[in-house]
Structure 1
Amino acid sequence: MTSGPDLRAARRRAIRIGFQKALRFARSESGSYTLESALLYPTLVVALVSLVFASLFIYKHADLYYTAAATAERAAYTWDNTHKEFSTGSVMPNQHDGLYWRTGSDGLGGMFSFGSGFGQKRVEWPAAEGAGEAGGAGPERKLLRAAGGLPDGIEGKLTYRHGLIDREVSVKLGQTGPLPFMAGKWMNARMEAEVRTVVTEPAELIRNVDFVRTFVVRVKDLIGKPQAERTVPAEPPAEHRRLVFARAAEAAEYVRSITGGVQQDVKAPSGRRLLDVLDADGLMHEVKLGYTAKSKDIESQIVKDVEMMRQSTEVKGVVWHFFRKEKDGKVGPSKPLRQYLENQGIIVVIHQ
Protein backbone atom coordinates (compact mmCIF):
# COMPACT_ATOMS: atom_id res chain seq x y z
CA MET A 1 0.00 0.00 0.00
CA THR A 2 1.03 3.58 -0.66
CA SER A 3 1.43 5.70 2.37
CA GLY A 4 -0.24 9.10 2.80
CA PRO A 5 2.82 11.27 2.05
CA ASP A 6 3.58 9.28 -1.09
CA LEU A 7 -0.04 9.65 -2.31
CA ARG A 8 -0.02 13.41 -1.82
CA ALA A 9 3.31 13.70 -3.65
CA ALA A 10 1.92 11.68 -6.56
CA ARG A 11 -1.10 13.96 -6.78
CA ARG A 12 1.03 17.09 -6.81
CA ARG A 13 3.23 15.56 -9.52
CA ALA A 14 0.17 14.72 -11.64
CA ILE A 15 -1.24 18.25 -11.23
CA ARG A 16 2.08 19.81 -12.20
CA ILE A 17 2.37 17.64 -15.30
CA GLY A 18 -1.24 18.51 -16.37
CA PHE A 19 -0.64 22.21 -15.85
CA GLN A 20 2.53 22.06 -17.94
CA LYS A 21 0.68 20.26 -20.75
CA ALA A 22 -2.14 22.86 -20.67
CA LEU A 23 0.37 25.67 -20.75
CA ARG A 24 2.15 24.15 -23.78
CA PHE A 25 -1.22 23.70 -25.53
CA ALA A 26 -2.14 27.35 -24.92
CA ARG A 27 1.16 28.56 -26.27
CA SER A 28 1.00 26.33 -29.31
CA GLU A 29 -0.17 27.92 -32.70
CA SER A 30 -1.17 24.66 -34.35
CA GLY A 31 -4.83 24.68 -35.55
CA SER A 32 -5.18 28.48 -35.51
CA TYR A 33 -5.88 28.62 -39.30
CA THR A 34 -8.76 26.20 -38.95
CA LEU A 35 -10.25 28.20 -36.11
CA GLU A 36 -9.93 31.54 -37.92
CA SER A 37 -11.39 30.09 -41.10
CA ALA A 38 -14.36 28.73 -39.22
CA LEU A 39 -15.08 32.20 -37.87
CA LEU A 40 -14.32 34.32 -41.00
CA TYR A 41 -15.61 32.28 -43.95
CA PRO A 42 -19.31 32.41 -43.03
CA THR A 43 -19.09 36.22 -42.78
CA LEU A 44 -17.45 36.46 -46.20
CA VAL A 45 -20.01 34.13 -47.75
CA VAL A 46 -22.92 36.14 -46.34
CA ALA A 47 -21.40 39.42 -47.60
CA LEU A 48 -20.74 37.97 -51.06
CA VAL A 49 -24.25 36.54 -51.37
CA SER A 50 -25.75 39.86 -50.22
CA LEU A 51 -23.73 41.77 -52.82
CA VAL A 52 -24.82 39.40 -55.59
CA PHE A 53 -28.49 39.69 -54.69
CA ALA A 54 -28.26 43.47 -54.30
CA SER A 55 -26.77 43.76 -57.80
CA LEU A 56 -29.44 41.46 -59.15
CA PHE A 57 -32.16 43.53 -57.44
CA ILE A 58 -30.84 46.77 -58.98
CA TYR A 59 -30.61 45.14 -62.40
CA LYS A 60 -34.19 43.88 -62.16
CA HIS A 61 -35.42 47.32 -61.17
CA ALA A 62 -33.63 48.96 -64.12
CA ASP A 63 -35.03 46.30 -66.44
CA LEU A 64 -38.53 46.96 -65.08
CA TYR A 65 -38.18 50.68 -65.78
CA TYR A 66 -36.95 49.99 -69.31
CA THR A 67 -39.91 47.68 -69.92
CA ALA A 68 -42.35 50.35 -68.74
CA ALA A 69 -40.66 53.04 -70.89
CA ALA A 70 -40.65 50.86 -74.01
CA THR A 71 -44.28 49.85 -73.52
CA ALA A 72 -45.45 53.45 -73.03
CA GLU A 73 -43.42 54.77 -75.96
CA ARG A 74 -44.60 52.11 -78.39
CA ALA A 75 -48.22 52.45 -77.27
CA ALA A 76 -48.10 56.22 -77.83
CA TYR A 77 -46.41 55.88 -81.21
CA THR A 78 -48.89 53.33 -82.56
CA TRP A 79 -51.95 54.92 -80.95
CA ASP A 80 -53.23 56.66 -84.10
CA ASN A 81 -53.27 53.45 -86.16
CA THR A 82 -54.09 50.03 -84.75
CA HIS A 83 -52.67 48.43 -87.91
CA LYS A 84 -49.13 49.50 -87.03
CA GLU A 85 -46.73 46.74 -86.00
CA PHE A 86 -46.31 47.31 -82.28
CA SER A 87 -42.58 46.63 -81.98
CA THR A 88 -41.35 48.54 -85.06
CA GLY A 89 -44.22 50.90 -85.90
CA SER A 90 -44.27 49.80 -89.54
CA VAL A 91 -47.56 49.68 -91.44
CA MET A 92 -48.67 48.43 -94.81
CA PRO A 93 -50.11 50.90 -97.38
CA ASN A 94 -53.84 51.66 -97.16
CA GLN A 95 -54.08 50.17 -93.67
CA HIS A 96 -55.31 52.78 -91.23
CA ASP A 97 -58.14 53.51 -88.84
CA GLY A 98 -61.23 55.45 -89.83
CA LEU A 99 -61.11 59.17 -90.51
CA TYR A 100 -63.09 60.03 -87.38
CA TRP A 101 -61.51 57.59 -84.97
CA ARG A 102 -60.74 60.40 -82.52
CA THR A 103 -64.42 61.12 -81.94
CA GLY A 104 -65.48 57.50 -82.31
CA SER A 105 -63.16 54.86 -80.97
CA ASP A 106 -61.15 57.38 -78.93
CA GLY A 107 -64.28 58.75 -77.24
CA LEU A 108 -65.91 62.12 -77.80
CA GLY A 109 -66.40 62.57 -74.05
CA GLY A 110 -62.68 62.13 -73.45
CA MET A 111 -61.88 64.84 -75.97
CA PHE A 112 -63.49 67.44 -73.72
CA SER A 113 -62.46 65.75 -70.44
CA PHE A 114 -65.96 64.93 -69.29
CA GLY A 115 -67.98 61.79 -68.94
CA SER A 116 -66.85 58.50 -67.47
CA GLY A 117 -63.42 58.74 -65.87
CA PHE A 118 -63.02 62.37 -66.95
CA GLY A 119 -61.30 61.35 -70.17
CA GLN A 120 -59.32 58.46 -68.65
CA LYS A 121 -59.34 54.79 -69.56
CA ARG A 122 -57.47 52.20 -67.51
CA VAL A 123 -56.72 48.50 -67.73
CA GLU A 124 -54.93 46.20 -65.33
CA TRP A 125 -52.45 43.50 -66.25
CA PRO A 126 -52.76 40.54 -66.09
CA ALA A 127 -56.22 41.26 -67.47
CA ALA A 128 -59.32 39.26 -66.75
CA GLU A 129 -60.41 36.82 -69.40
CA GLY A 130 -62.47 38.54 -72.12
CA ALA A 131 -61.50 42.05 -71.04
CA GLY A 132 -60.22 42.91 -74.50
CA GLU A 133 -63.58 42.27 -76.13
CA ALA A 134 -65.34 44.96 -74.08
CA GLY A 135 -63.01 47.67 -75.29
CA GLY A 136 -63.69 47.00 -78.97
CA ALA A 137 -61.41 49.26 -80.98
CA GLY A 138 -61.28 51.79 -78.17
CA PRO A 139 -58.51 52.82 -75.77
CA GLU A 140 -58.93 49.70 -73.59
CA ARG A 141 -58.13 47.41 -76.48
CA LYS A 142 -55.07 49.47 -77.43
CA LEU A 143 -53.84 49.40 -73.85
CA LEU A 144 -54.32 45.63 -73.61
CA ARG A 145 -52.47 45.25 -76.90
CA ALA A 146 -49.54 47.17 -75.40
CA ALA A 147 -49.65 45.09 -72.22
CA GLY A 148 -49.67 41.86 -74.19
CA GLY A 149 -45.94 42.10 -74.77
CA LEU A 150 -45.04 42.33 -71.09
CA PRO A 151 -42.88 39.51 -69.70
CA ASP A 152 -44.28 36.96 -67.27
CA GLY A 153 -44.27 37.86 -63.60
CA ILE A 154 -44.98 41.58 -64.20
CA GLU A 155 -48.27 43.18 -63.21
CA GLY A 156 -49.41 46.77 -63.39
CA LYS A 157 -51.81 49.38 -64.72
CA LEU A 158 -51.93 51.08 -68.11
CA THR A 159 -53.79 54.40 -68.34
CA TYR A 160 -54.82 56.58 -71.26
CA ARG A 161 -55.78 60.21 -70.59
CA HIS A 162 -57.47 62.22 -73.32
CA GLY A 163 -57.61 65.96 -72.68
CA LEU A 164 -58.79 68.80 -74.83
CA ILE A 165 -55.31 69.48 -76.22
CA ASP A 166 -52.94 66.75 -75.09
CA ARG A 167 -53.18 62.97 -74.81
CA GLU A 168 -51.00 60.77 -72.65
CA VAL A 169 -50.26 57.10 -72.03
CA SER A 170 -48.89 56.11 -68.62
CA VAL A 171 -47.58 52.67 -67.67
CA LYS A 172 -47.07 51.64 -64.04
CA LEU A 173 -45.51 48.21 -63.56
CA GLY A 174 -44.51 46.22 -60.52
CA GLN A 175 -42.94 42.91 -59.62
CA THR A 176 -41.30 41.10 -56.73
CA GLY A 177 -37.54 41.31 -56.72
CA PRO A 178 -35.16 38.45 -55.87
CA LEU A 179 -34.17 38.12 -52.22
CA PRO A 180 -31.97 35.43 -50.64
CA PHE A 181 -33.37 32.72 -48.36
CA MET A 182 -35.54 34.14 -45.55
CA ALA A 183 -34.77 37.82 -46.27
CA GLY A 184 -38.30 38.39 -47.54
CA LYS A 185 -39.56 38.36 -43.96
CA TRP A 186 -37.50 41.43 -43.02
CA MET A 187 -37.22 43.28 -46.34
CA ASN A 188 -39.74 44.58 -48.88
CA ALA A 189 -38.95 42.97 -52.22
CA ARG A 190 -41.61 44.95 -54.12
CA MET A 191 -40.28 47.17 -56.95
CA GLU A 192 -42.28 49.57 -59.14
CA ALA A 193 -41.68 51.82 -62.14
CA GLU A 194 -43.95 54.41 -63.79
CA VAL A 195 -43.46 56.16 -67.15
CA ARG A 196 -45.64 58.72 -68.97
CA THR A 197 -45.51 59.39 -72.71
CA VAL A 198 -47.35 62.00 -74.78
CA VAL A 199 -49.24 60.77 -77.83
CA THR A 200 -48.03 62.64 -80.92
CA GLU A 201 -49.23 62.51 -84.52
CA PRO A 202 -46.87 64.14 -87.05
CA ALA A 203 -49.32 63.70 -89.93
CA GLU A 204 -52.18 65.25 -87.94
CA LEU A 205 -49.99 68.20 -86.94
CA ILE A 206 -49.11 68.86 -90.58
CA ARG A 207 -52.77 68.72 -91.59
CA ASN A 208 -53.78 71.14 -88.82
CA VAL A 209 -51.06 73.63 -89.71
CA ASP A 210 -52.02 73.48 -93.38
CA PHE A 211 -55.70 73.96 -92.48
CA VAL A 212 -54.94 77.04 -90.37
CA ARG A 213 -52.82 78.58 -93.10
CA THR A 214 -55.51 78.02 -95.72
CA PHE A 215 -58.32 79.20 -93.43
CA VAL A 216 -56.53 82.43 -92.43
CA VAL A 217 -55.81 83.32 -96.06
CA ARG A 218 -59.42 82.78 -97.09
CA VAL A 219 -60.81 84.85 -94.22
CA LYS A 220 -58.34 87.58 -95.07
CA ASP A 221 -59.55 87.55 -98.68
CA LEU A 222 -63.21 87.73 -97.62
CA ILE A 223 -62.72 91.05 -95.81
CA GLY A 224 -60.63 93.41 -97.90
CA LYS A 225 -59.05 96.60 -96.66
CA PRO A 226 -61.58 98.99 -98.33
CA GLN A 227 -64.51 97.08 -96.82
CA ALA A 228 -62.84 97.00 -93.40
CA GLU A 229 -62.22 100.74 -93.52
CA ARG A 230 -65.86 101.38 -94.37
CA THR A 231 -66.97 99.13 -91.51
CA VAL A 232 -64.48 100.49 -88.96
CA PRO A 233 -63.30 103.98 -89.91
CA ALA A 234 -59.64 104.52 -89.30
CA GLU A 235 -58.63 107.21 -86.87
CA PRO A 236 -57.17 110.31 -88.51
CA PRO A 237 -53.41 110.57 -88.05
CA ALA A 238 -52.34 112.82 -85.21
CA GLU A 239 -51.11 116.21 -86.33
CA HIS A 240 -47.38 116.49 -86.01
CA ARG A 241 -46.49 119.39 -83.74
CA ARG A 242 -43.58 121.54 -84.77
CA LEU A 243 -41.65 122.32 -81.59
CA VAL A 244 -40.92 126.03 -81.98
CA PHE A 245 -40.88 128.38 -78.97
CA ALA A 246 -40.44 132.10 -78.52
CA ARG A 247 -39.07 131.86 -74.97
CA ALA A 248 -36.94 129.29 -73.14
CA ALA A 249 -39.46 129.21 -70.29
CA GLU A 250 -42.12 127.86 -72.69
CA ALA A 251 -39.76 125.12 -73.85
CA ALA A 252 -38.95 124.22 -70.23
CA GLU A 253 -42.66 124.01 -69.42
CA TYR A 254 -43.12 121.64 -72.37
CA VAL A 255 -40.32 119.36 -71.09
CA ARG A 256 -41.88 119.36 -67.61
CA SER A 257 -45.24 118.34 -69.11
CA ILE A 258 -43.83 115.31 -70.93
CA THR A 259 -41.47 114.16 -68.16
CA GLY A 260 -43.55 114.95 -65.09
CA GLY A 261 -40.59 116.81 -63.60
CA VAL A 262 -40.36 120.04 -61.63
CA GLN A 263 -38.11 123.08 -61.55
CA GLN A 264 -35.69 122.90 -58.65
CA ASP A 265 -32.87 124.97 -57.16
CA VAL A 266 -29.99 122.78 -55.89
CA LYS A 267 -26.60 123.42 -54.41
CA ALA A 268 -23.65 122.09 -56.40
CA PRO A 269 -20.02 121.94 -55.17
CA SER A 270 -19.17 124.84 -57.52
CA GLY A 271 -22.21 126.91 -56.54
CA ARG A 272 -25.98 126.97 -56.77
CA ARG A 273 -27.68 125.68 -59.93
CA LEU A 274 -31.27 126.24 -61.02
CA LEU A 275 -32.46 123.07 -62.74
CA ASP A 276 -35.02 123.59 -65.49
CA VAL A 277 -36.49 120.13 -64.93
CA LEU A 278 -35.74 117.29 -62.46
CA ASP A 279 -37.91 114.21 -62.98
CA ALA A 280 -38.78 111.37 -60.60
CA ASP A 281 -36.01 109.13 -62.01
CA GLY A 282 -33.32 111.64 -61.06
CA LEU A 283 -32.70 112.90 -64.61
CA MET A 284 -31.91 116.59 -64.91
CA HIS A 285 -33.15 118.29 -68.09
CA GLU A 286 -31.51 121.53 -69.27
CA VAL A 287 -33.42 123.51 -71.93
CA LYS A 288 -31.69 125.66 -74.57
CA LEU A 289 -33.49 127.70 -77.22
CA GLY A 290 -32.08 128.40 -80.68
CA TYR A 291 -28.48 128.01 -81.77
CA THR A 292 -26.08 127.65 -78.82
CA ALA A 293 -22.30 128.04 -79.04
CA LYS A 294 -19.62 127.03 -76.58
CA SER A 295 -18.82 129.82 -74.13
CA LYS A 296 -17.46 130.29 -70.61
CA ASP A 297 -20.97 130.53 -69.14
CA ILE A 298 -21.97 127.34 -70.89
CA GLU A 299 -18.80 125.60 -69.72
CA SER A 300 -19.53 126.74 -66.15
CA GLN A 301 -23.02 125.20 -66.36
CA ILE A 302 -21.59 121.97 -67.73
CA VAL A 303 -19.03 121.78 -64.89
CA LYS A 304 -21.83 122.10 -62.30
CA ASP A 305 -23.95 119.50 -64.11
CA VAL A 306 -21.07 117.02 -64.21
CA GLU A 307 -20.34 117.60 -60.51
CA MET A 308 -23.97 116.97 -59.58
CA MET A 309 -24.16 113.89 -61.78
CA ARG A 310 -21.07 112.40 -60.14
CA GLN A 311 -21.49 113.55 -56.52
CA SER A 312 -25.13 114.43 -55.86
CA THR A 313 -27.62 111.80 -54.71
CA GLU A 314 -30.50 113.62 -56.41
CA VAL A 315 -29.14 113.77 -59.96
CA LYS A 316 -28.52 110.44 -61.70
CA GLY A 317 -28.02 111.80 -65.22
CA VAL A 318 -28.13 114.97 -67.34
CA VAL A 319 -29.95 115.65 -70.62
CA TRP A 320 -29.65 118.89 -72.60
CA HIS A 321 -32.61 119.72 -74.86
CA PHE A 322 -32.26 122.09 -77.83
CA PHE A 323 -35.44 123.63 -79.28
CA ARG A 324 -35.95 125.75 -82.40
CA LYS A 325 -36.25 129.47 -81.77
CA GLU A 326 -39.33 131.09 -83.28
CA LYS A 327 -37.56 134.36 -84.14
CA ASP A 328 -34.79 133.03 -86.42
CA GLY A 329 -35.70 129.33 -86.77
CA LYS A 330 -32.28 128.14 -85.63
CA VAL A 331 -31.76 125.10 -83.42
CA GLY A 332 -29.00 122.97 -81.94
CA PRO A 333 -25.55 123.26 -80.35
CA SER A 334 -22.40 124.14 -82.19
CA LYS A 335 -20.15 121.28 -83.16
CA PRO A 336 -17.54 122.02 -80.41
CA LEU A 337 -20.31 122.32 -77.79
CA ARG A 338 -21.97 119.06 -78.79
CA GLN A 339 -18.65 117.24 -78.75
CA TYR A 340 -17.82 118.69 -75.32
CA LEU A 341 -21.21 117.69 -73.90
CA GLU A 342 -20.95 114.13 -75.17
CA ASN A 343 -17.39 113.79 -73.84
CA GLN A 344 -18.68 114.74 -70.38
CA GLY A 345 -21.37 112.05 -70.49
CA ILE A 346 -24.29 114.44 -71.08
CA ILE A 347 -27.06 113.32 -73.44
CA VAL A 348 -27.89 115.74 -76.29
CA VAL A 349 -31.47 115.85 -77.69
CA ILE A 350 -32.31 118.14 -80.62
CA HIS A 351 -36.06 118.72 -81.10
CA GLN A 352 -37.02 119.56 -84.69
Structure 2
Amino acid sequence: MWDKMRAAFLKNEKGSFIIEASLVFPIIFITIIMFLYLSIYIYEHAQLYTYANKAANRIAYAWTNSKTDPVTFELKAPGESDGLYWRLTDDRMLGSLIGLSGGDSGSISVGGSGSGLVGEKLAKFTGVTIPDYVKGTVSYKNVLVEKAVVVELNRPLSFPKVVEDLLGNDVKVKASATVTDPVEFIRTIELIKLYGQELQDSGVSAILQKQKGAEKK
Protein backbone atom coordinates (compact mmCIF):
# COMPACT_ATOMS: atom_id res chain seq x y z
CA MET A 1 0.00 0.00 0.00
CA TRP A 2 2.78 2.38 0.96
CA ASP A 3 4.61 1.53 -2.21
CA LYS A 4 1.56 2.43 -4.29
CA MET A 5 1.11 5.74 -2.43
CA ARG A 6 4.80 6.64 -2.87
CA ALA A 7 4.68 5.81 -6.58
CA ALA A 8 1.53 7.89 -7.02
CA PHE A 9 3.11 10.80 -5.14
CA LEU A 10 6.23 10.71 -7.29
CA LYS A 11 4.16 10.64 -10.48
CA ASN A 12 2.04 13.56 -9.38
CA GLU A 13 3.47 16.78 -10.97
CA LYS A 14 1.04 19.23 -9.37
CA GLY A 15 2.89 22.19 -7.81
CA SER A 16 6.15 21.50 -9.63
CA PHE A 17 5.94 24.83 -11.48
CA ILE A 18 5.69 26.76 -8.22
CA ILE A 19 8.72 24.98 -6.80
CA GLU A 20 10.81 25.56 -9.92
CA ALA A 21 9.71 29.18 -10.13
CA SER A 22 10.61 29.78 -6.48
CA LEU A 23 14.12 28.54 -7.23
CA VAL A 24 14.69 30.39 -10.51
CA PHE A 25 12.84 33.66 -9.88
CA PRO A 26 15.24 35.08 -7.23
CA ILE A 27 18.20 34.54 -9.58
CA ILE A 28 16.42 36.27 -12.48
CA PHE A 29 15.21 39.09 -10.22
CA ILE A 30 18.67 39.76 -8.75
CA THR A 31 20.22 39.69 -12.23
CA ILE A 32 17.72 42.25 -13.54
CA ILE A 33 18.30 44.53 -10.55
CA MET A 34 22.06 44.32 -10.99
CA PHE A 35 21.74 45.21 -14.68
CA LEU A 36 19.58 48.20 -13.74
CA TYR A 37 22.14 49.50 -11.26
CA LEU A 38 24.94 48.87 -13.75
CA SER A 39 23.03 50.84 -16.38
CA ILE A 40 22.57 53.74 -13.96
CA TYR A 41 26.30 53.71 -13.15
CA ILE A 42 27.31 53.65 -16.83
CA TYR A 43 24.86 56.46 -17.64
CA GLU A 44 26.15 58.67 -14.81
CA HIS A 45 29.74 57.95 -15.81
CA ALA A 46 29.07 58.88 -19.45
CA GLN A 47 27.20 62.04 -18.45
CA LEU A 48 29.96 63.18 -16.08
CA TYR A 49 32.63 62.53 -18.70
CA THR A 50 30.65 64.60 -21.21
CA TYR A 51 30.63 67.52 -18.76
CA ALA A 52 34.33 67.13 -17.99
CA ASN A 53 35.39 66.78 -21.63
CA LYS A 54 33.26 69.73 -22.72
CA ALA A 55 34.64 71.96 -19.96
CA ALA A 56 38.26 70.99 -20.65
CA ASN A 57 37.96 71.63 -24.38
CA ARG A 58 36.16 74.96 -23.92
CA ILE A 59 38.75 76.24 -21.46
CA ALA A 60 41.67 75.07 -23.62
CA TYR A 61 40.15 76.59 -26.76
CA ALA A 62 39.70 80.05 -25.21
CA TRP A 63 42.76 79.99 -22.95
CA THR A 64 44.75 82.58 -24.91
CA ASN A 65 42.11 85.27 -24.35
CA SER A 66 39.92 85.46 -21.26
CA LYS A 67 37.89 88.30 -22.78
CA THR A 68 35.98 85.91 -25.04
CA ASP A 69 32.40 84.98 -24.27
CA PRO A 70 32.28 81.55 -22.54
CA VAL A 71 29.45 80.36 -24.78
CA THR A 72 29.97 81.96 -28.20
CA PHE A 73 33.74 82.70 -27.88
CA GLU A 74 33.11 86.15 -29.33
CA LEU A 75 34.77 89.39 -28.17
CA LYS A 76 32.58 92.20 -26.86
CA ALA A 77 34.94 94.71 -28.44
CA PRO A 78 37.53 94.16 -31.18
CA GLY A 79 41.10 93.91 -30.00
CA GLU A 80 40.37 92.89 -26.40
CA SER A 81 43.11 90.72 -24.94
CA ASP A 82 44.89 89.82 -21.72
CA GLY A 83 47.88 92.01 -22.52
CA LEU A 84 51.21 91.45 -24.21
CA TYR A 85 53.16 89.69 -21.45
CA TRP A 86 50.49 87.63 -19.69
CA ARG A 87 52.26 84.41 -20.67
CA LEU A 88 55.31 85.34 -18.60
CA THR A 89 53.47 86.23 -15.40
CA ASP A 90 49.82 85.12 -15.31
CA ASP A 91 50.44 81.93 -17.27
CA ARG A 92 53.11 80.87 -14.74
CA MET A 93 55.80 80.45 -17.39
CA LEU A 94 58.54 81.83 -15.16
CA GLY A 95 57.47 79.52 -12.35
CA SER A 96 57.76 76.55 -14.69
CA LEU A 97 61.20 77.64 -15.87
CA ILE A 98 62.69 77.89 -12.38
CA GLY A 99 60.67 75.02 -10.92
CA LEU A 100 58.48 76.95 -8.49
CA SER A 101 55.09 75.74 -9.72
CA GLY A 102 55.98 72.07 -10.00
CA GLY A 103 53.88 71.81 -13.14
CA ASP A 104 50.62 72.67 -11.34
CA SER A 105 49.87 76.27 -12.27
CA GLY A 106 46.49 76.60 -10.59
CA SER A 107 43.31 74.78 -9.69
CA ILE A 108 39.82 75.59 -8.40
CA SER A 109 36.84 73.66 -7.13
CA VAL A 110 33.85 73.35 -9.44
CA GLY A 111 31.49 76.22 -8.71
CA GLY A 112 34.18 78.17 -6.86
CA SER A 113 36.31 81.13 -7.80
CA GLY A 114 40.05 81.40 -8.28
CA SER A 115 42.68 84.08 -7.87
CA GLY A 116 44.63 85.64 -10.70
CA LEU A 117 44.08 85.30 -14.41
CA VAL A 118 44.41 81.50 -14.32
CA GLY A 119 41.70 81.14 -11.68
CA GLU A 120 39.49 83.63 -13.51
CA LYS A 121 39.69 81.65 -16.75
CA LEU A 122 39.02 78.32 -15.02
CA ALA A 123 36.00 79.67 -13.12
CA LYS A 124 34.54 81.59 -16.06
CA PHE A 125 34.32 78.67 -18.48
CA THR A 126 33.59 76.00 -15.87
CA GLY A 127 30.45 77.77 -14.65
CA VAL A 128 28.67 77.46 -18.00
CA THR A 129 29.54 73.84 -18.75
CA ILE A 130 29.31 71.94 -15.44
CA PRO A 131 26.02 71.80 -13.43
CA ASP A 132 26.00 72.95 -9.81
CA TYR A 133 25.22 69.51 -8.41
CA VAL A 134 28.47 68.08 -9.79
CA LYS A 135 31.58 68.31 -7.61
CA GLY A 136 35.23 68.20 -8.59
CA THR A 137 38.27 70.26 -9.46
CA VAL A 138 39.54 72.04 -12.56
CA SER A 139 43.26 72.63 -12.89
CA TYR A 140 45.72 74.11 -15.36
CA LYS A 141 49.16 72.57 -15.77
CA ASN A 142 52.02 74.38 -17.46
CA VAL A 143 55.13 72.23 -17.84
CA LEU A 144 56.58 74.50 -20.53
CA VAL A 145 56.60 71.87 -23.27
CA GLU A 146 52.92 71.16 -22.74
CA LYS A 147 50.03 73.17 -21.36
CA ALA A 148 46.89 71.30 -20.43
CA VAL A 149 43.56 71.77 -18.68
CA VAL A 150 42.52 68.84 -16.49
CA VAL A 151 38.96 68.40 -15.22
CA GLU A 152 38.18 65.83 -12.51
CA LEU A 153 34.55 65.31 -11.53
CA ASN A 154 32.76 63.05 -9.09
CA ARG A 155 29.19 62.41 -8.03
CA PRO A 156 28.07 60.17 -5.14
CA LEU A 157 25.33 57.63 -5.83
CA SER A 158 23.03 55.92 -3.34
CA PHE A 159 23.31 52.20 -4.02
CA PRO A 160 22.59 49.18 -1.80
CA LYS A 161 25.57 47.84 0.13
CA VAL A 162 25.98 44.84 -2.18
CA VAL A 163 26.05 47.04 -5.28
CA GLU A 164 28.43 49.52 -3.64
CA ASP A 165 30.87 46.70 -2.94
CA LEU A 166 30.89 45.83 -6.64
CA LEU A 167 30.64 49.24 -8.34
CA GLY A 168 31.40 51.72 -5.58
CA ASN A 169 29.20 54.60 -4.49
CA ASP A 170 31.06 57.41 -6.22
CA VAL A 171 31.34 57.98 -9.96
CA LYS A 172 34.67 59.59 -10.88
CA VAL A 173 35.85 60.81 -14.28
CA LYS A 174 38.87 62.70 -15.60
CA ALA A 175 39.27 64.57 -18.88
CA SER A 176 42.05 66.76 -20.23
CA ALA A 177 42.65 69.01 -23.21
CA THR A 178 45.89 70.45 -24.54
CA VAL A 179 46.12 74.22 -24.84
CA THR A 180 47.22 75.28 -28.32
CA ASP A 181 48.81 78.72 -28.62
CA PRO A 182 49.82 79.38 -32.26
CA VAL A 183 51.00 82.93 -31.51
CA GLU A 184 53.37 81.78 -28.77
CA PHE A 185 54.51 78.83 -30.89
CA ILE A 186 55.43 81.09 -33.83
CA ARG A 187 57.12 83.57 -31.48
CA THR A 188 59.18 80.79 -29.91
CA ILE A 189 60.25 79.42 -33.29
CA GLU A 190 61.29 82.89 -34.45
CA LEU A 191 63.24 83.40 -31.21
CA ILE A 192 65.05 80.08 -31.66
CA LYS A 193 65.89 80.95 -35.25
CA LEU A 194 67.17 84.38 -34.21
CA TYR A 195 69.43 83.09 -31.46
CA GLY A 196 70.50 80.15 -33.59
CA GLN A 197 71.61 82.50 -36.34
CA GLU A 198 73.40 84.72 -33.80
CA LEU A 199 75.26 81.76 -32.34
CA GLN A 200 76.12 80.48 -35.79
CA ASP A 201 77.44 83.89 -36.90
CA SER A 202 79.46 84.30 -33.70
CA GLY A 203 80.90 80.82 -34.16
CA VAL A 204 81.91 81.56 -37.75
CA SER A 205 83.44 84.88 -36.66
CA ALA A 206 85.46 83.16 -33.95
CA ILE A 207 86.79 80.60 -36.43
CA LEU A 208 87.77 83.35 -38.92
CA GLN A 209 89.55 85.26 -36.17
CA LYS A 210 91.51 82.17 -35.22
CA GLN A 211 92.47 81.59 -38.86
CA LYS A 212 93.65 85.19 -39.26
CA GLY A 213 95.70 84.92 -36.09
CA ALA A 214 97.30 81.71 -37.30
CA GLU A 215 98.16 83.28 -40.70
CA LYS A 216 99.87 86.27 -39.02
CA LYS A 217 102.05 83.94 -36.98
Give the TM interval when normalised to the shorter protein: 0.7 to 0.9
Q: Which has the larger radius of gyration?
A: 1
Change in 2 beyond 3 A, CA 1:50/1:113: farther
SS at 2:154's partner residue?
strand
Match for residue 64 of structure 1? 48
* Cα distance change, pair 27–220 in 1 and its aligned pair in 2 (3 A): closer
Quote the offset at 1:28 in angstroms: 2.0
Residues 99 and 33 (structure 1), Cα distance of their counterparts in 2 relative to 1, 3 Å cut:
same
Q: Give identity over the alignment, percent.
A: 26
Q: Are 2:140 and 1:160 aligned?
A: yes
TM-score by length of 1: 0.48
Unaligned runs of 5+ in 1: 1-15, 237-352
Q: What is the alpha-carbon distance in structure 2 between the residues aligned to residue 224 and residue 32 of structure 1?
A: 99
Aligned equivalent of 1:100, options 85, 110, 115: 85
Give the one of 49, 70, 79 matched to 2:33: 49
2:20 pairs with one of 36, 44, 49:
36
2:66 corresponds to 1:82: yes
Distance 1:73 1:184 in 2: 33
Residue 145 of structure 1 corresponds to which residue in structure 2? Answer: 124
Aligned length: 211
Q: 1:123 aligns with which of 105, 108, 112?
A: 108
The aligned runs of 1:15-34 (5 Å cut-off) are: 24=8, 26-34=10-18
Aligned partner of 2:182 in structure 1 is 202
CA contact (8 A) 1:172 1:193 kept: yes
1:293-304 equivalences under 5 Å are none
* CA distance 1:224–1:41, change in 2 (3 Å): closer
What is residue 210 of structure 2 aligned with on the other side? 232
Cα contact 2:141–2:147 (8 A) shared by 1: yes
- The structure showing larger relative contact order (alpha-carbon pairs under 8 Å, at least 6 residues apart) is 2
Deviation string for 1:243-297 (max 9, x for gaps)?
A: xxxxxxxxxxxxxxxxxxxxxxxxxxxxxxxxxxxxxxxxxxxxxxxxxxxxxxx
1:203 is matched by which residue type in structure 2? V
Q: CA deviation at 1:233?
A: 1.2
Give the structure 1 partner of residue 152 of structure 2. Answer: 172
Larger helix fraction of residues: 2
- Cα RMSD of the aligned pairs, angstroms, is 3.8
Runs of 4+ aligned structure 1 residues displaced above 6 Å come to: 18-23, 220-225
Shift of 1:156: 1.6
Q: TM-score, normalised by structure 2?
A: 0.73
* 113 and 190 in structure 1: CA distance in 2 versus 1, 3 angstrom threshold: farther
1:74, 1:163 → 2: CA distance? Answer: 20
Partners of 2:93 and 2:20 in 1: CA distance = 75
5+ residue gaps, structure 2, are: none
Shift of 1:152: 4.2
Higher strand share: 1
Q: In the alignment, which of 192, 196, 200 is matched to residue 172 of structure 2?
A: 192
Paired residue secondary structure (2:151): strand
